Amino acid sequence: MTLTINGKTREITGEASLQNAVAQLCKDPNLVVTELNGQIIDRARWAATPIAANDTLELVTFMGGGSPKPDPFILADKEFKSRFLLGTGKFKNKADVKESILASGAEIVTVALRRIDLEQHEDNILQYLPNNVTLLTNTSGARTADEAVRLAHLAKASGQGHWIKVEVINDSKYLLPDNEATITATKILAAEGFVVLPYVSADLYVARRLVEAGAAAIMPLGSFIGSNQGLRARDFIKVLIEEIDIPVIVDAGIGAPSHACEAMELGASAVLVNTAVAIADNPAAMAKAFAQAVEAGRTAYLSGLPAKRPMGEASSPLTGFLFE
C-alpha cells in the first residue's frame, strides 16, 4: 500500500491500520504524534484507525530546536570528517602509529621520505597505515626550495599520491621555517598539480603570497616545533583565520589537547599534532583525546563564544532577596 508520509511516497505492508504503519516506520512509537489526512489521531485510536492507499500521514516527534548545520572539512575538493591530522614521527614503534590513527579517527596522516638504511632494513611505515587515510608527504629535511621540490617528486614517483606538506628549514637551532623558500617551492609544485600545504610562520603577507602561489591551505606554527608550548603565535594565527580564504591548519608546538581546542575555538580549520601524541605514555589514548578536543573546539567556535568582559556580571539577579 502506497501512502504519502512526511512528504514522501512510502510503502506499507501488512495490516492496513495506523498502528501497523507507525510500528513499521518509527523506532519508538510512544514518542510519536500522528496526523492522518489532516486530522490528529490519539494514540489510543491507532489500532482501530484504518489507512488506505494514497492517504497522507504526518509523523512528528520532539527534538532540540533547529537543524544541525552541515560542517564539512573540505581540502582540495576532498571532504573529510575529522579535523585532526596526525604526524607519524617520533613514535616508539609503528604499532603505536596505527593504534593512534584508529583511536583518533584521523584521515590525513603525514609521512616523510628517508634514504634506506642498507645495513639495517626497517619495516615500511606504510604497512601500518589504514587504507582509508590520505597521505600527506612531509618535505622535512629540505633546506632549500629545490630540495623540497625534489622530495615531492620522489614521493609522487613512489605512487603514494600528490599531497605535499612543504617544510623548508635551514635553521638548526630554532627550526623556524624559511618562508621565502617555502613560497618558491609551493609555486612550483602547485603549478605541477600537487596539493600543497605549506608550513610557515604566522605572517599575513606570507600567507597571501602562498594563496597566490596556489596553496591548498596554510599551516602556521603555533610555537617552536616539538616544543609543546601551545599557541604562542595565537594573535597572529587569528589574523590569518580572519583574512585568508583557504583553510588554516595549525601545526607545530601543540602539546596538549587544550591547545588544540584553543586553536579550533579561534576558528582554525584543523590541527596537526605529532610530538605530543608520539611521546605520550599511551599514544592511542592521547590521540583520541586530541581528536575529541578538536571536535569540542570546533563546536564551540560554531556555537558563538561569548566575548570576554572586563568585570563580573551576575548570572542570577542580586536583588529581591537579601538585598534591595
Q: Which residues are catalytic?
A: 165
Spatial strand order in the sheet of 219-220: 219-220, 195-200, 163-166, 134-138, 108-112, 84-87, 270-273, 249-251
Q: For 66, phi and psi rounded to 5 degrees?
A: 80, 180
What residues pair up with 34 in beta bridges, in sequence order?
41, 59
Question: Do the bridges between strand 73-75 and strand 134-138 make them parallel or antiparallel, or are there none, so unpaired?
Answer: unpaired
Residue 312 corresponds to which cell in the numbers above? 563580573
How far apart (Å, rounded) are the C-alpha atoms in residues 251 and 257? 13
Q: What DSSP character marks residue 159?
A: T
Dihedral sign for Cα 210, 211, 217, 219, please: positive
Residue 1 corresponds to which cell in the numbers above? 500500500
Query: Looking at 91-226, which runs of residues are DSSP E strands?
Result: 108-112, 134-138, 163-166, 195-200, 219-220
How far apart (Å, rounded) are the C-alpha atoms in residues 166 and 180? 12
How far apart (Å, rounded) are the C-alpha atoms in residues 139 and 145? 10
Task: Tell me the CA distances in angstroms from 27 to 35, 61, 65, 91, 92, one per residue in order.
Answer: 18, 11, 21, 45, 47
Helices (H), 36-120: 94-104
Question: Do the bridges between strand 33-36 and strand 56-60 make them parallel or antiparallel, or are there none, so unpaired?
Answer: antiparallel
How far apart (Å, rounded) are the C-alpha atoms in residues 108 and 129? 11
